[in-house]
Structure 1
């Protein structure tokens, strides 16, 4: 790698004190550049340090996406310099994923144009149906010397039109939590608390906060659409965190189902880091493709995008079985059976983790 940092005139290494004839210290390897650099150097140095300009990064990404298990096998064989190290790869992919998620909120995925059009139509409709405007129109018709049958019909129609405030309530009624909606058999928080005080359950410490939040949102009149959109967005943005939390557990399940003599927990950890890096990249690609579907109404392009997303989802599931067989080198049938068991256990456990994050997201809605 060749950095753009300015080389120091002093040839004494700042790190170990040895003489530096060229750019790098022959003793410790530190680059002999000035201690202070322009602010942008922090970012350019990070990118340069990661990509190396020698194809290491792009070679790593290519093998990660298209050659399941290749990176793990290469690393476990001791070839550590050929590709980006597993931990560094996972951290970098996580950083990019979080960064993109922060730049592009998820709530507009689908058809933002349609939503804006509906909101604009609604605004125009309310302006037309305002009480003052409606009364002025009625008075102007009545002021005519000769009121026709058509004018009379117009007056009747205007009188039948609800006021703007009533109309807005009608239009939003289906989006709000119905006042009659209950949590189980309880219609109010007071009724729930009273019943649980008489007959407490062992899971009340989990259930009670959720119920209280439900009735709190019900009292505030929070819209259903806002609740669902908020939960989906928070859960999707929490996915990288969920994967990070699940890393050691995934490696543990691999350790349980494979020979303890042949495979160490460290080996399973390397496989897990590579697989989860792939998952994050796939989630990122699906996210970006989903955003693109909302930018065009041209159906052939959207069809291609949706087909690509579907393929990526299927490939994500198949990827695990391919990588598992190539790394652990089990016989075909044994590999498939163990792979199915591992995939099922991890899928169920991860769904529980996502459910927990969804509940946390629900509790954070204001």
Structure 2
């Protein structure tokens, strides 16, 4: 129930109907003051999105611990007791990708990696050449043993740098164009390979390895919610094709899909923060075992969840439900794999 002050005027601002109590009996609008603080706007937005009462927490509990119970209750008519499916999905999707973008995991992983690894600086950062090392040895500043050690480190660094460049054998676009124009048929590449290599070399010329990885990761993460949202109708269509068309209309399968995808996003968010929590502590065998156990349970629940949800919702025999569930999961995994590859390619094309 809202705690905002009511207007003294009992005429509804929306439909001019007489308001006896707090809400207009004609249109349902609350008869409160129109001027609000930023805090009130934010709270009002959150309340509208989640209802911010028992319905929200009841929905989350059912979603996480009672597979398909939320869908069954919603389709049976109990709609005010739970959050609407589309609103639930939008809220969880928004929170999940917002928090993941605000608290990236790679920075935590990098800081942990630096504790356990010795970082070898590049040749450019050291400004050291083998000739200068030989010179220091000749004048007696460095021993021959230290000379050999430094040379070995520099050679390893050069090899690492060469591997990180990943130029596929071409140093520049000009070199690629020259080979493609003047080279023999044996060294030429196909038109598809040429397009890919030219795009890659253009990206390499304008960005460092770190910038490419960062831009690719950011673009992939930012566009993933759109891909998931666009894929849900496909998932619902596959469910519809596997079940009785008259008993289960497409709308019913769509509600099941919204709840299932909301569950997946919620569990991904929980596992994400569990992972970040354990990164705050120094690694010990006990903590690693606890962390692994929690991730194993979460991963198992993510995979297993669909099977009881499918059986309870569609009310089929165990073996039939198991067969259909397995087939649906396999088909969707194949489609998702293709979509991820295409999405990664799209992300790659749009790196500047």
Normalising by structure 2, we get a TM-score of 0.82
> Per the alignment, do residues 254 and 13 of structure 1 end up closer, same or farther by CA in structure 2, a change over 3 Å counting?
same
What per-residue deviation string (whole Å, max 9, x for no partner) do you get for residues 119-147 of structure 1? 87749xx67x868xx89x969x96xxxxx
Of 158, 164, 174 in structure 2, the residue corresponding to residue 170 of structure 1 is 158
Secondary structure at the aligned position of 1:110 is classed as helix
SS of residue paired to 2:67: coil
List runs of 5+ in structure 2 lacking aligned partners.
Answer: none
Match of 2:273 in 1: 288
Which residue does the alignment assign to 1:32? 31
Partner of 1:272: 257
Query: Secondary structure at the residue paired with 2:19?
Result: coil
Instruction: Compare 239-248 and 320-329 and name the one that shifted more.
Output: 239-248
The alignment of Structure 1 onto Structure 2 pairs a total of residues equal to 341
| Aligned counterpart, 1:81 | 80
Secondary structure of 1:41 counterpart: helix
Contact 2:180–2:189 (8 Å) recurs in 1: no
Superposition CA RMSD, Å: 3.8
Residues 230 and 361 in structure 1, CA contact (< 8 A), matched pair in contact too:
no
Cross-structure match for 1:329: 315
Residue aligning to 1:49: 48
Rounded to whole Å, the distance in 1 between the matches of 2:109 and 2:149 is 33
Against the structure 1 CA distance between its residues 98 and 189, is the aligned structure 2 distance closer, same or farther, given a 3 Å change threshold? farther
Shift of 1:268: 0.7
Residue 342 (str. 1) matches residue 341 (str. 2) = no
Q: Check conservation: 2:46, 2:52, Cα contact below 8 A.
A: no
2:63–2:263: 8 Å Cα contact kept in structure 1? yes
Aligned equivalent of 1:257? 242
Match of 1:146 in 2: none
1:1-366 equivalences under 5 Å are 2-115=1-114, 122=121, 152=140, 154=142, 156=144, 170=158, 173-179=161-167, 181=169, 188=176, 190-192=178-180, 208-219=194-205, 222-223=208-209, 227=212, 231-232=216-217, 234-299=219-284, 300-366=286-352
Q: Secondary structure at the match of 1:40?
A: helix
Contiguous gaps of at least 5 residues in structure 1: 143-151
